Amino acid sequence: MNADISEIQTFDHDVVVIGAGGAGLRAAIECSAQGLNTGMICKSLLGKAHTVMAEGGVAASLGHTDQRDNWKVHFRDTIRGGKFLNQWRMAELHAQHAADRVRELEEWGAVFDRTPDGYINQRPFGGHRYPRLAHTGDRTGLEIIRTLQDYGIHQGIHVHQECTGLKLLKDSGRISGVLGYWRDTGRFVLFRTKAVIMSTGGAGKIWRVTSNSWEYTGDGIEMAYSAGAELIDMEFAQFHPTGMIWPISVRGILVTEGVRGEGGVLLNSENERFMFNYTPDRFKEETADSPEEAQRWLDGDASARRPPELLTRDVVAKSIMKEVEAGRGSPHGGAYLDIASRRDGEYIKRKLPSMYHQFKELAEVDITKERMEVGPTLHYMMGGIAVDGDTQMTAVPGLFACGECTGGMHGANRLGGNSLSDLLVFGWLAGKGAKDYVGQLSRPLQIVPEHIEEARREAVAPLNIEGGENPYLLHEELQNIMNDVNIVRTADGLKRAIESLQKLKPRVANIYAAGSSQYNPGWNQALSMRPMVMVAEAVARAALIREESRGAHTRLDFEGEREEWGNINVMMCQNADGSMDIRKVQRDVPPDHLAEIAYANLEDLEGGLHV
């Protein structure tokens, strides 16, 4: 093989961050602060990543609206929301450091909404014991990504925009580079680097109804998996209970949980506030059992319990589905979300301006006067690349990961607001981890030209297979297959999906993208099919093996949580022959100090410090 790589444009960095959402930006800022020559590549323009879509807020126990809050209560809420499947150390670090990371954003220029005495205001959200979400109206993600972007551009980070990563390159097992291509020219580009931080987000695009944009095709998860990293708990995919459902073209667009945080209620076609019928036993003690009590909570009565609309997302999403199944759904197969009768118009416009705008423009619904129609939409993947909780390093030396593309932090279900805090805390830690790793490298790393040649050949293939498959239509077929790996699952459906995915693979290898490689969305789509199919298979296989219902994973043939599965993580990696290895792994026993918090009474934690 004649593998000449000298003509490929090449950049040299100490670390390359792949993905420029909140996690990637925070990681790059830390790398740069640690003195590393930092490159960052992103598929879109800087500042457009999915973090802009985060609406409700960032969870951190600042204690500004309820002084009883502290990191231990946040930790307890997170573990209980995750159905005790979270990685203990990650949940601990997350709860401990979230508040500092939020305050740091304020020092970098973020402008959060204020309390009457001038501090960062916090709003209630599902599964959080106290009002805990620092927010900027309902566009908190935009505030955070813009703050990181505007701070980051002055920190000496080399940003390579509209550049897609294709393959991680290794030198005897260690990361030594990344091969990518520029979207505008289609030309290949090589990054020689000592470490890579993966921060590419999830893979929502494998499902039809999703709040995710075109970027969320799982490429980071696939690149890491192909390079030898392990994946954890891929079966847990979060369906946000409230997506828009009408008109059809907006189906899936997110309606922030902040609507319920601000007092919005869910109603069925009989005008019944049905969530009172669905409170799980585990949360009964902490949840209001009547509309009267829920109203007192909204009015600020500290002794009243939270309304059931603020139960965790897995519970609310399934409750809406059950109402629809029972024939009490809204006209387009969802539920009504009503804020109009709960708050005055001016308040709604001030606290939920994007929601007001979004419904007015896209659905011709005035949410200050009318009810919204909502239903579940795929929003987030709890599963992902397995990392060490302290350093964020994967099983591959030199490969780190943070943000949504990782797994473990959120267990079986993520609490709203815990993603923005996750990406800040673990972006920061990944930067530190990369610095420590790069610092102890003792020899120069090599690039193996043959590895590049192989990847290049594979990448250009779709441009040359005339008469091959249409990438857009194949994507639709994948989404159809995933209807069997949806919010509720059965063994039969999952087996059918796995079988269909096997049949899809050779067709994916036979995709044809018309045109040249220059800014060609068809070709880009073709290249994202392999990662999407790989992630789809991982989700389906993990879902098949977990024979219980827990958090976001619901098996109609295995109802309820099974005790024996409470101690099991599902781990995956790639076998030498390219097949998928899947294992049930016994979880570590939690350290005493964390177990004590997780199982503590709230009163013990609220008093504070003796635990």
Residues at the site binding other proteins, with contacts judged by CB under 8 A: 44-50, 52-53, 103, 106-109, 111, 113-114, 116-119, 121, 136-137, 139, 142-143, 146, 150-151, 153-154, 161, 184, 213-215, 246-250, 253-254, 353-354, 357-358, 361-363, 470-473, 513-516, 518-523
Q: Do the Cβ atoms of 170 and 455 come closer than 8 Å?
A: no
* Angle between helical axes of 71-81 and 88-107 (0-180°, round to 10): 130
Separation between Cα atoms, residue 163 and residue 451, nearest integer Å: 19
Those residues whose C-beta lies under 8 Å from the C-beta of residue 280, and which sit 6 or more positions away, are 311, 315
Give the shortest CB-220-to-other proteins separation in angstroms.
Answer: 17
Is 94 a catalytic site residue? Answer: no
Residue 86 vs 136, nearer CB to other proteins = 136
Q: Minimum Å distance from CB 121 to other proteins?
A: 8
Question: With the C-alpha atoms ordered 339, 345, 347, 350, is the resulting torsion angle positive or negative?
Answer: positive
For other proteins, which is the closer residue by CB, 92 or 469? 469
- Residue 240 falls in the annotated catalytic set: yes
* Helix pair angle (219-226, 521-545), 10° resolution: 70
Buried-exposed string 424-442: b where 16+ CB fall within 10 A, e elsewhere: bbbbbbbbbbbbebbeeee
Residue 424 CB contacts under 8 Å (≥ 6 apart), including other chains:
22, 26, 58, 98, 101, 102, 105, 144
Q: Among the options 76, 240, 530, 550, which is catalytic? A: 240
Q: Which is nearer to other proteins, 149 or 413 (CB)?
A: 149
Whole-angstrom distance, CA of residue 229 vs CA of residue 343:
49
Nearer to other proteins, 136 or 238 (CB): 136
Cβ distance 59 to 98 under 8 Å? yes
Sequence-ordered list of residues with C-beta below 8 angstroms from that of 248, at least 6 positions apart, any chain: none
Shortest distance in whole angstroms from residue 185 CB to other proteins: 9
Q: Which of 406, 305, 358, 338 is nearest to 86 (CA)?
A: 406
Shortest reach from residue 347's CB to other proteins, in Å: 13
| Cβ–Cβ < 8 Å for 13, 37 | yes
291 versus 331: smaller Cβ distance to other proteins: 331
Alpha carbon distance 583, 27 (integer Å): 31
Taking the complex as a whole, the smallest distance from the CB of residue 538 to other proteins amounts, in Å, to 25
Residue with smaller CB distance to other proteins, 85 or 259: 259
Kindly state the smallest distance separating residue 80's Cβ from other proteins, in Å: 29
Cβ proximity to other proteins: between 445 and 463 the closer is 463
Decide the pairing of beta strands 188-198 and 399-401. parallel
| 324: its two tokens | 């629809």
Cβ 552 to other proteins shortest distance, Å? 23
Residue 517 CB contacts under 8 Å (≥ 6 apart), including other chains: 181, 185, 186, 187, 460, 463, 523
Buried b (16+ CB within 10 A) or exposed e, 16-53: bbbbbbbbbbbbbbbbbebebbbbbbbbbebbbbbbbb
Q: How far is the CB of 468 from other proteins (least distance, A)?
A: 11
Nearest to 105 by CA among 70, 68, 134, 144: 144
Nearer to other proteins among residue 407 and residue 471 (C-beta): 471
Nearest distance in Å: CB 514, other proteins: 5
Measured distance CA(528)–CA(524) in Å, rounded:
6
Please spell the DSSP secondary structure of 421-473, one letter per residue. Answer: HHHHHHHHHHHHHHHHHHHT--S-----HHHHHHHHHHHHGGGT-TT-B-HHH
Q: Is 506 exposed, middle or buried (0-12, 13-18, 19+ CB in 10 A)?
A: exposed
Look up residue 258 and give its two tokens.
């902040």
User: Would you call 407 helix, strand, or coil by DSSP?
Assistant: coil
Minimum distance, C-beta of residue 149 to other proteins, in the bound complex (Å): 9
**Closer CB to other proteins, 241 or 462, in the complex:** 462
> Exactly one of 13, 94, 128, 260 is catalytic; which is it?
260
Closer to other proteins by Cβ: residue 77 or 215: 215
Catalogue the active-site residues: 240, 260
